[in-house]
């Protein structure tokens, strides 16, 4: 099968492991798309493979099908991604940028004529998302690596809207008889105190939270920062986050269980693929709060910011005015970040998120979870995909009747998922604490690449 590869370039080890899987399965690689500076890595491990750099500047636009551009321009996620990455400043500029990227994608597909495109992650930049949209338009499968409801569970995604539901359905006939040791250990953490359950990336961010800690990290490798002033920009970014955190805490209130029934919306760090594209229009998270306020007139709508918003990381998109927008919605309360999130989770009638891990944590503790995006946990009993009107109506009923997640539902869901031929469960002894290291080494993505190739062979 003529196979086009997108990315798989997170490290030298990652390239090596992906190349080994492709060779082992006899894939006919017609091209490899990736960032320009890694082209030599690809051709070094796979001599003769054509490497195509992304993005590729197309100065002279070819003649295009205006009707198709009109269809593409009505995909709201593309505009949000262009706004996030390119900042053209005008609607005309956005459409022109989308047209340029569309022409690049069309040129690649017309020339290489792939029968299968494999991607190392959910398409979540302008080019990869455009590639996904056009591939589906042409009937070309584009499976991607999709993280499951726990960090060590990785699946083949086949449809952005469905997340890993296809992989879950494939496991119904042969569920795992016993949950993996890592899954059992994580369930234990989710059901204990939050100190045990805190994701490893948040622990790392907390250790590097202070400006001096950030400065020490930068000064330890001065060569990396000498020419592009990242240290200075990083310091400015840390200061901006501090100011934003102070502004948030000024309008936030402590959690108070005595003030009546509530649901809680846990916000996402942005920009991230977990909200755009996986949340679609609900990447605008205030729309979720507005929906909840409209459907649950007898409930308080608690909103809790993601702690990573105020720590070093991706560029800062949140502004003080964003919090005021939430407070303009009836019965919305912003919660301070003091105290354990599990205290809130255990009290509320439902936890609400786009795709966040907080949903899986809530289910493990017996609290229903409502997802406004392609969350990995939506197939569990007690979880609801709010993009489906019928499921949203059922979720409202559960909230009003104070229903809890049935005993054993989470274990049943996870056993079906672990039995799927489209799912890889990593039981590496350090996977919980070294998740990002193992992912960059290819130990999580490459086994899923093998499952893609086996499924579409």
In this predicted model, what pLDDT tens digit does every residue of 235-253 receive, in sequence order? 567 788 889 999 999 999 9
Q: Which CATH code of 3.90.1170.20, 3.40.630.40, 3.40.50.2000, 3.40.50.720 fits the domain covering 181-199+252-415? A: 3.40.50.2000
Which of the two residues, 86 and 139, has the higher pLDDT score?
A: 139
Lowest mean pLDDT among 51-55, 119-123, 333-337, 440-444: 440-444
Lowest mean pLDDT among 146-150, 238-242, 373-377: 238-242
Contact 158, 170 (CB under 8 A): no
Q: For residue 409, what are the β-bridge partners?
A: none
According to the model, what pLDDT value does residue 402 have?
96
Question: In this model, does residue 227 exceed pLDDT 50?
Answer: no
Lowest mean pLDDT among 94-98, 119-123, 161-165, 212-216: 212-216
Burial 140-179 (b: 16+ CB within 10 A, else e): bbbbbbbbbbbbbbbbbbbbbebbbbbbbebbeeebbeeb
Q: What is the mean pLDDT of residues 8-23?
A: 82
Contact 130, 105 (CB under 8 A): yes
Q: Which residues contact 26 (CB under 8 A, 6 or more apart)?
A: none
Fold of 2-142+426-456: Rossmann fold (3.40.50)
Please report which confidence band the pLDDT of residue 57 belongs to, taking 50, 70 and 90 as the band edges. low
Token pair belonging to 377: 């946990």
Please report which confidence band the pLDDT of residue 87 belongs to, taking 50, 70 and 90 as the band edges. low
Q: State the chain's mean pLDDT as an integer.
A: 87
Which of the two residues, 225 and 60, has the higher pLDDT score?
A: 60
**pTM to 2 decimal places:** 0.89
According to the model, what pLDDT value does residue 241 have?
86
Residue owning tokens 């998922």: 417
Question: In this model, does residue 61 exceed pLDDT 70?
Answer: no
Contact 82, 95 (CB under 8 A): no
Token pair belonging to 341: 């999130």
Q: Where in the chain is the domain with CATH 3.40.50.2000?
A: 181-199+252-415
Q: What is the mean pLDDT of residues 350-366?
A: 97
| CA 333, 334, 336, 339 torsion-angle sign | positive
Give the C-alpha separation, 369 to 360, whole Å: 8
Q: What is the mean pLDDT of residues 381-388?
A: 97
According to the model, what pLDDT value does residue 21 have?
92
Q: What is the mean pLDDT of residues 100-107?
A: 88
According to the model, what pLDDT value does residue 200 have?
57
Please report which confidence band the pLDDT of residue 427 belongs to, taking 50, 70 and 90 as the band edges. confident
Lowest mean pLDDT among 153-157, 200-204, 354-358, 386-390: 200-204
**Percent of the chain beyond pLDDT 90?**
58
Question: In this model, does residue 421 exceed pLDDT 80?
Answer: yes
Q: At what angle do helices 286-295 and 320-327 cross, to 10 degrees?
A: 10
According to the model, what pLDDT value does residue 228 have?
47
Residue 271, preceding peptide bond in cis (omega within 30° of 0): yes
Which of the two residues, 218 and 365, has the higher pLDDT score?
A: 365
Q: How many CB atoms lie within 10 A of CB 344?
A: 21
Residue owning tokens 């017609």: 30
| pLDDT tens profile 259-270 | 999 999 999 988
The gap between the terminal CA atoms of the chain, to the nearest Å, is 7
């Amino acid at each position: 099968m003529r196979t086009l590869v997108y990315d798989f370039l997170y490290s030298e080890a990652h390239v090596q492991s992906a190349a080994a899987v492709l060779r082992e399965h006899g894939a006919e690689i017609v091209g490899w798309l990736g960032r320009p500076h890694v082209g030599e890595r690809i051709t070094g491990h796979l001599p003769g493979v054509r490497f195509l750099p992304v993005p590729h500047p197309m100065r002279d636009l070819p003649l295009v099908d205006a009707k198709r551009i009109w269809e593409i321009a009505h995909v709201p996620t593309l505009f949000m991604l262009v706004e996030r990455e390119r900042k053209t400043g005008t609607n005309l500029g956005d459409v022109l940028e989308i047209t340029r990227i569309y022409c690049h994608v069309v040129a690649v597909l017309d020339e290489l004529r792939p029968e299968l495109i494999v991607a190392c992650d959910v398409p979540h930049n302008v080019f990869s998302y455009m590639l996904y949209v056009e591939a589906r338009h042409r009937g070309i499968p584009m499976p991607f690596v999709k993280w499951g409801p726990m960090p060590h569970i990785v699946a083949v995604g086949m449809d952005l809207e469905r997340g890993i539901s296809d992989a879950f359905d494939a496991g119904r006939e042969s569920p795992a008889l016993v949950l993996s040791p890592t899954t059992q250990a994580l369930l234990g953490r989710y059901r204990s105190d939050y100190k045990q359950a805190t994701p490893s990336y948040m622990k790392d961010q907390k250790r590097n939270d202070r400006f001096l800690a950030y400065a020490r990290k930068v000064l330890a490798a001065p060569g990396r920062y000498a020419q592009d002033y990242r240290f200075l920009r990083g310091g400015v970014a840390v200061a901006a986050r501090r100011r934003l955190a102070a502004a948030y805490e000024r309008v936030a209130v402590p959690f108070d269980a005595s003030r009546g029934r509530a649901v809680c919306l846990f916000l996402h760090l942005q920009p991230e693929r977990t909200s755009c594209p996986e949340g679609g229009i609900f990447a605008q998270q205030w729309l979720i709060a507005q929906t909840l306020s409209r459907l649950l007139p007898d409930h308080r709508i608690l909103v809790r910011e993601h702690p990573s918003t105020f720590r070093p990381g991706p560029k800062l998109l949140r502004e003080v005015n964003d919090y005021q927008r939430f407070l303009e919605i009836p019965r919305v309360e912003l919660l301070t970040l003091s105290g354990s999130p599990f205290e809130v989770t255990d009290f509320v009638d439902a936890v609400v998120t786009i795709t966040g891990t907080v949903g899986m944590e809530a289910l493990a503790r017996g609290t229903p979870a409502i997802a406004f995006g392609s969350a990995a946990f939506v197939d569990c009993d007690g979880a609801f995909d709010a993009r489906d009107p019928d499921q949203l109506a059922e979720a409202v009923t559960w909230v009003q009747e104070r229903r809890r997640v049935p005993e054993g539902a989470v274990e049943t869901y996870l056993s079906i998922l672990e039995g799927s031929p489209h799912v890889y469960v990593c039981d590496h002894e350090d996977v919980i604490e070294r998740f990002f290291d193992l992912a960059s080494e290819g130990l999580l993505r490459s086994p899923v690449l093998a499952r893609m190739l086996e499924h579409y062979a």
